[in-house]
Amino acid sequence: MSLDFNDAEPQRSSDLIPDGSFAKVGMTIRKGGIDGDGEIDRGLLKASQSSDAVMLDCEFTVLEGPHARRKFWQTFVVRGGKVDEQSVSIGWKISKGVLRAMMESAQGLDPNDMSEAAKQKRMLRGLADLHGIAFVAKIKIEPSTNPGYGDSNRLERVVVPNEPEWKKVMAGEAVPAAPSHRAVRPSQPKPAAQPAWKEPAATAAPPPNVKPAWGSSPAPQQASAPAPAKSAGPAWLNS
């Protein structure tokens, strides 16, 4: 018996997705064995190894474009961890906002639309309904804080339909990466201080033809792109 490796996929590059990339991604939830609040979420959640937090363990796969099939991973706190003044999990409040944005991005739903029809599209039977959701994401590179591990890709934010990048990605257009954090140039060493008696009494005059900041007129702002038309409900949501 012989094994045929001719149909095996070539090795993939280990390079990270460039910081600030926009892409359509699909999310799958990796079960961690801890029950959620409802029957549909039985065994869905994962325990944190460093606190009492319980999380969604999510895998993201780029669906289209030059980075198609590349993956990255992220967790979202569902309960536990630090709490606010009302004893509500701070992590869950943050996660809930991100998950809501995923549903809006997936369904072409304007975040400002609070009609009854829009509210209904933000309702789920449980967190398990998010398994398989596809939405537009902005991806970042997160520097590693552990010398034993390299940097990794993470979800910087969900791109929603009232942003111009959402419409372009959904139309299959290439969107340039927009890194949020630019490299910081090392500061130059300051010259040694001189004794006061060596400093000149008069200060140098300011250079000519320099206008104050308030004298410069602001650059004109471009009009934002119109919000795309609403689409039907997502295929990932099974009623």
What pairs with residue 74 in β-bridges? Answer: 58
CA angle 121, 118, 233 (to 5 degrees): 40
* Closest among 224, 96, 227 to 161, alpha carbons compared: 227
Domain ranges of the chain: 21-170
Closest C-alpha among 225, 39, 25, 4 to residue 127 = 39
| C-alpha pair distances (Å), 108 with each of 111, 122, 159, 161 | 9, 12, 11, 6
| 42: helix, strand or coil | coil
CA separation for the pair 110, 90 (Å, rounded): 25
The stretch 18-47 carries a mean pLDDT of: 97
- 137, 81 Cβ separation under 8 angstroms: no
Give per-residue pLDDT as tens, 186-235: 444 545 555 555 555 554 444 455 444 444 444 444 444 444 444 444 45
Quick check: 53 pLDDT over 50? yes
Residue 221 Ramachandran class (φ > 0 left, ψ -120 to 50 alpha, else beta): beta
Distance CA 78, CA 47 (A): 10
Mean pLDDT over 44-72 rounds to 96
Lowest mean pLDDT among 126-135, 149-158, 202-211, 220-229: 220-229
* C-alpha span between 60 and 137 (Å, rounded): 10
Helices (H), the chain: 90-107, 116-121, 164-170
Report the range of poorest mean pLDDT among 100-104, 112-116, 217-221: 217-221
Residue 152: is its pLDDT beyond 70?
yes
User: What confidence tier does 2 reach under pLDDT thresholds 50, 70, 90?
Assistant: confident
Residue 227 is predicted with a pLDDT of 41
Q: Measuring CA to CA, which residue among 106, 102, 132, 125 is closest to residue 28?
A: 132
Question: Can you list the alpha helix ranges (DSSP code H) found in 68-193?
Answer: 90-107, 116-121, 164-170
Q: What pTM did the predictor assign?
A: 0.72
- The stretch 68-87 carries a mean pLDDT of 95
